[in-house]
Chain A
Amino acid sequence: MSRAQPKPANGAGPNRTCQFKMVLLGESAVGKSSLVLRFVKGQFHEYQESTIGAAFLTQTVCVDDTTVKLELWDTAGQERYHSLAPMYYRGAQAAIVVYDITNGDTFSRAKVWVKELQRQAAPNIVIALAGNKADLAQKRQIEIQDAQTYAEENGLIFMETSAKTAMNVNDIFMAIAKKLPKTPEQTRGPIRSEPITVTSGQTNGANGGTCCAGSK
């Protein structure tokens, strides 16, 4: 719990602010919500309730001299929500596809998600593959080497993570944040462009409050 949080933006330091939409995808019960909660709030619940629909959180991190605000869409993994997934990954600049290293099926499902993202999502989307539940390595079904090879073939960022021990959780988010293009004109446009352009200014202002509250 007392693990250090990613540094919040405090108006003084960095001079540039970028905003990115990031979506988490993967089979149900692989630990998407746990990863996000660990990253945003530094919390971990042994019995995390399954997500209904999708949950929206924000977190701000500093990369070099840029403040990067991540808008995280934590989607529900259940089958009946799959048809809604495009709504969440549309316009996203980054995605984390999560699988459970103790469950082989979730890895095949993750591959399907990667394929879908490469086909349907924005062409320059940054995709990361996270093998979660690394603390349960004794029950491992997916070898780290297999996942690594697959990630390299598809140009994905790959890490094994553990929301429970917080291993690699911040690292994977930071790795994505570093890989994202940091020109404000490029990044700010696509976030709002598709659904509503009118309210973009208003939205940015309001969300500033949310993120600060979340990352104290």
Chain B
Amino acid sequence: MKFMQRSGSSSKKQKAKLATNQQQQQTSSQITKSDYNASVDFIADHPGCWRLLENEAVDKDLVSNDQQSNEIKHPTIIYKSSVFSINNHSYTRLSFQNYNKKVESYMSKYNVYNNQQNGEDGELKQSDEEDNEQITDEKLATYATLMKTIRKKFNKKSSSNIITFDNSSGGKISKRKRRRHKKQQQVNATLLESLPSFSSHNSNNEEETESGVFLNLQYDQEQSIEEGKLTSTGLISEIILQSPVPDTVDDEGASNNTSYPSVNKLVYSTQPRMDDEQSIITTTTSSNEHNISKHQNDTRDIEESFTEDDYEHILKSDVKHIFILSDNGKPVFTRYGDEEKLLTLMGVMQSLISFAEIYNHNQLNYIKAGRSRVVFLHNKPLIFILVTRLNENYSCLLQQLNYCYYQIISTLTLSRIKHKFEAQPNFDLRRWLSNAEKKLLHNIIDMYETDHGMMMSCAKCLIMPLNIRSQIGLVMAQTIRGQKDMIFAIILAHGHLVSIARLKQYHLHPSDLHLLINLVNSSDAFKDVEAWVPVCLPRFDSGGCLHTHISYLDDACDVCLILMTVNAENFHILSDFKQTITDKLKKNGLIGQIKIALVRDRGLSDEIGCNQLRYFAYKSRGLSQYTCSKLLAPYTTKEQQIRLFDLIRYIYGRLHDPNHQLKIIYYAAEYESLLGWLAPGFELHVVFSPMVTLDTVTSCIDRILAYIKREEGQLFIMKCEYF
């Protein structure tokens, strides 16, 4: 038994059809429940997912061998040569376009009947090879018309689409039975070649000799072309359903037989372009047919295909994708593109996660697929997924996802999200995320790529004389002292920490500070007004809000004061504090001093005096603060900066790799040499010109450390003021 359903953007028009499909789903899921374990039910309950069932008959030996070890070990997730397998179970997903292409060739070869009047349902079954030799012209003509109809329907623009593969859908569906030994063997052979890890499955299959395609296809009248294309452009593009079919089962019996063995295996493959090696599918796909259908698309709806192309382009480009969806597969956020158009892709991701979790209660963390890396983070009720082709370390990528999670909590609070999803599991979180909140998410993602502080989990301070900084801190602390509801008072200037005063027993975690900086930097709405915003600091308390008074202390909006209290009624008190602090700072000329420090913008690297030194970042681990030199040529362009920061993140990842921790790493890259040093008290990242000698490196590092020791008081906040 097998089916797959994909649901597109939901439209009311489609609901009736959905209902029919769901009925069929239910039938199949009931059957599934009775015959198989829980993992199977789950998938059936989730629309927009692909489905897989294990075949005990085929995989018996393997499963029994592996399960024992799997119970103890972590899941083995292999994504190799465009096929994807978890714990020796292989997965794939049906993409309509590719399915189309793939099946067409078989259909033409093996002579397929189809009920065209119905036009909604079609089932393909393997036919005996003998049948194939009796192809008549009449049948070929029928087939041609069928293909035309399918294409037409699939390429039509629509708001929704449902594709179900189900062999239990009763008599109204036309059925075909066919076997395709030759083709199957060919495919399997290719699989075997390209996939050593997968070979046991395939050879098993062949021994059974019953493997084949057994698909029941129900497609909605208004099949969207978007979906087909999208899936083919994403990570996941193809599906091959291979099912052992008992020889004795006839056409009708096969579909109605409830105790029928299930789909045993889904071969998971990716778009060839995503992979280093050629995908199997490409070898069997007719490029002509693809072109024809593409041409049809273009002529039918030029505008549509334009947006589609753009979209395809976005998905295939080398950018770092981040997707956020809810537990039940509803899209919440995507870094690029439009969530609506990614429905299917998100469905796949959700089912990947769900399957891994149900299977031995594992967690899916990370997939490496050719050059692509996919990182998963499942913090109920949200799922965060990152797809990148850059050579970045897992821990850094996970950290970036964690920041997204914190950002969402920061605006909505975890308890509120959980509450809402408990009451209404299918809640669309986008209702709570307006453009302002999405901008925050976008900015925190971008900020991670340009700020080492987020990576190293520390804050960057404005470089200024020690006595001025302590005066500012004192002014804040003295003004606020005695107000028991106050928690934090922070002064920021252009995203740098100037000073902080706090209640003695509470600490501000660096990641919380980054969220605050992001909030202030993301919006001009705080300028010229006093803002009163509830902000949740996830590391402080993910369940509640701190009421935050945000205002600028000067007319040019350079210096920002953030006051945080637990009492929502305290606005006027905080407003008075702001006024008092402004007056005191102005009176002592301290705001002017902050501006001087901002303008001065010390480069640091020139003060160290080493020709080969290009850049450094030093983190004091005790203070959780860092400082870095100014980026000079050649890192003045954005591309170069991004390249450099990617490299530094790579070094950071190597230093902090939990499996293989290093203390010092020296990395000679093409255009620069990098050194990363993880010492007990500090962490140092230095970039040199590529031809630097090791002697220069060591002497330069000595100078940096001596310099930082000397200037420590200016570079860092050494002493925090308390209320």
Cβ–Cβ contact B576 & A52, under 8 A = no
Cβ–Cβ contact A54 & B432, under 8 A = no
A113-139: contact bitstring with B at CB < 8 Å (1 yes, 0 no)? 000000000000000000000000000
Given contacts A195-B572, A199-B573, contact A49 B524 (CB under 8 A): yes
Main secondary structure of the interface of B (DSSP, over half): helix
> Does any Cβ of A come within 8 Å of B568's Cβ?
yes
Interface core residue of B529, B532, B571, B576 (most chain A CB under 10 Å): B529
B562-590: contact bitstring with A at CB < 8 Å (1 yes, 0 no)? 00000011111101100110010000000
> Which of chain A's residues has its CB closest to B525's CB?
A49
Question: How many residues belonging to A are interface residues under a CB distance threshold of 8 Å?
Answer: 31
> Does any Cβ of B come within 8 Å of A100's Cβ?
no
> Within residues 117 to 158 of chain B, which ones have a CB less than 8 A from any CB in chain A?
none
- A84 proximity list for chain B (CB < 8 A): 534
> Does any Cβ of A come within 8 Å of B436's Cβ?
yes
> Does any Cβ of B come within 8 Å of A209's Cβ?
yes
Given contacts A52-B519, A53-B531, A74-B529, contact A192 B572 (CB under 8 A): yes
> Does any Cβ of B come within 8 Å of A55's Cβ?
yes
> Does any Cβ of A come within 8 Å of B69's Cβ?
no
Assembled-state Cα–Cα distance A3/B576 (Å): 31
Cβ–Cβ contact A196 & B573, under 8 A = yes
- A74 proximity list for chain B (CB < 8 A): 529
Query: Which stretch from A61-69, A103-111, A152-160, A200-208 is at the chain B interface?
Result: A200-208
Distance to closest chain A CB from B394 (angstroms): 33
Distance to closest chain B CB from A32 (angstroms): 11
> Within residues 522 to 545 of chain B, which ones have a CB less than 8 A from any CB in chain A?
523-526, 528-534
> Does any Cβ of A come within 8 Å of B435's Cβ?
yes
B431 partner, pick from A33, A50, A79, A192, beta carbons under 8 A: A79
Assembled-state Cα–Cα distance A74/B526 (Å): 12
A196 partner, pick from B531, B570, B583, beta carbons under 8 A: B570
> Does any Cβ of A come within 8 Å of B659's Cβ?
no
Main secondary structure of the interface of A (DSSP, over half): mixed
Given contacts A80-B412, A195-B572, A199-B572, contact A53 B436 (CB under 8 A): no
Cβ–Cβ contact B576 & A206, under 8 A = yes
Distance to closest chain B CB from A92 (angstroms): 13
Cβ–Cβ contact A203 & B576, under 8 A = yes
> Does any Cβ of B come within 8 Å of A5's Cβ?
no
Given contacts A53-B533, A54-B532, contact A207 B435 (CB under 8 A): no
Distance to closest chain B CB from A52 (angstroms): 5
Given contacts A50-B525, A53-B531, A56-B529, contact A210 B568 (CB under 8 A): no
> Which of chain B's residues has its CB closest to A83's CB?
B416
B403-416: contact bitstring with A at CB < 8 Å (1 yes, 0 no)? 00000000110000
> Which of chain B's residues has its CB closest to A200's CB?
B572
> Which of chain A's residues has its CB closest to B532's CB?
A54
Cβ–Cβ contact B434 & A195, under 8 A = no
> Which of chain A's residues has its CB closest to B527's CB?
A49
Cβ–Cβ contact A49 & B531, under 8 A = no
Cβ–Cβ contact A207 & B575, under 8 A = yes
Interface core residue of B435, B525, B526, B528 (most chain A CB under 10 Å): B525
> Does any Cβ of B come within 8 Å of A28's Cβ?
yes
A33-56: contact bitstring with B at CB < 8 Å (1 yes, 0 no)? 100010001000000111111111
> Does any Cβ of B come within 8 Å of A78's Cβ?
yes
Assembled-state Cα–Cα distance A173/B569 (Å): 26
Assembled-state Cα–Cα distance A80/B410 (Å): 13
Assembled-state Cα–Cα distance A202/B575 (Å): 11
B440-477: contact bitstring with A at CB < 8 Å (1 yes, 0 no)? 00000000000000000000000000000000000000
- B531 proximity list for chain A (CB < 8 A): 51-56
Distance to closest chain B CB from A206 (angstroms): 4
Cβ–Cβ contact B529 & A202, under 8 A = no
> Within residues 71 to 98 of chain A, which ones have a CB less than 8 A from any CB in chain B?
74, 78-80, 84, 87
> Which of chain B's residues has its CB closest to A214's CB?
B528
**16 other contacts beyond A50-B434, A206-B579, A207-B575, with CB at 8 A cut-off?**
A37-B528, A49-B525, A50-B435, A51-B436, A52-B519, A55-B530, A56-B532, A80-B412, A80-B431, A80-B432, A80-B434, A195-B571, A196-B569, A199-B576, A207-B579, A209-B579
Closest 4 CB pairs of A and B: A53-B533, A195-B569, A55-B529, A80-B432
